[in-house]
């Protein structure tokens, strides 16, 4: 059974500048799962926070030098303001949205080897959108398995212990 997430709360986030949205929120080398989806300028992600299954959409509505993200939080009921603020704090933390890159760029601005990377990915942040629990689950199921097998095992976990949620896009969430 699909859990419908009909209520939407929208919050604007202003990351520190510079901020490269796509290279921060999408890491193609990370473990692929059916709990997230990405397209340029937009990332869908499920999240269980304080016992509530939610669907998040991070939408790029700014630029590298004037960054802005519109965060859509899908839920099955209206969310209390303190819950929204706690999700906002967690998203800021997981995606390193307030990370100050100034000293890094000042130190390496004249490095000719890094110039092409800076030109393409200026504002990239280190991040992981999952929690420590999610990372541990991935680490356990990745042991001595091919990527294909690992993806199949994760999907089996979603099917056995998870729930399909649908806000804007149907994604899985482990409950």
Q: Parse the chain into domains and list their residue ranges.
A: 2-129+163-174
- Dig out the tokens for 136 from the structure: 């541990």
At 36 the three-state DSSP class reads: strand
Quick one: pLDDT at residue 32? Answer: 66
At the top level of CATH, the class of 2-129+163-174 is alpha beta
Quick one: pLDDT at residue 44? Answer: 93
- What is the greatest pairwise CA distance in the chain? 56
Quick one: pLDDT at residue 29? Answer: 63
Residue ranges for the chain with pLDDT beneath 70 = 1, 29-32, 128-135, 138, 141-142, 144, 163-175
Quick one: pLDDT at residue 84? Answer: 96
pTM of the model: 0.75
78 vs 7: CA distance, rounded Å = 6
Cβ atoms within 10 Å of 88's Cβ, excluding its own: 17
117 vs 130: CA distance, rounded Å = 26
Q: What is the pLDDT of residues 35-63, one digit of tens each?
A: 788 999 999 988 888 988 899 999 999 99
């Amino acid at each position: 059974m699909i859990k419908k997430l009909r209520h939407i709360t929208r919050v604007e986030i202003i990351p520190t500048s510079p901020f490269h949205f796509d290279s921060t929120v999408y890491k193609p080398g990370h473990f692929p799962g059916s709990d997230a989806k990405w397209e340029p300028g937009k990332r869908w992600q499920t999240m269980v926070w304080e016992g509530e299954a939610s669907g998040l959409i991070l939408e790029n509505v700014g630029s590298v030098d004037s960054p802005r993200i519109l965060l859509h939080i899908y839920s099955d009921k209206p969310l209390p303001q303190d819950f929204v603020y706690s999700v906002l704090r967690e998203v800021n933390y997981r995606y390193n949205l307030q990370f100050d890159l100034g000293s890094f760029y000042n130190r390496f601005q004249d490095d000719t080897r890094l110039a092409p990377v800076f030109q393409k990915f200026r504002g990239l942040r280190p991040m992981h959108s999952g929690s420590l629990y999610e990372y541990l689950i991935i680490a356990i199921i990745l042991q001595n398995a091919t990527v294909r097998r690992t993806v199949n095992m994760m999907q089996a976990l979603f099917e056995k212990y998870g729930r399909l949620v649908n806000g804007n896009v149907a994604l899985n969430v482990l409950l």
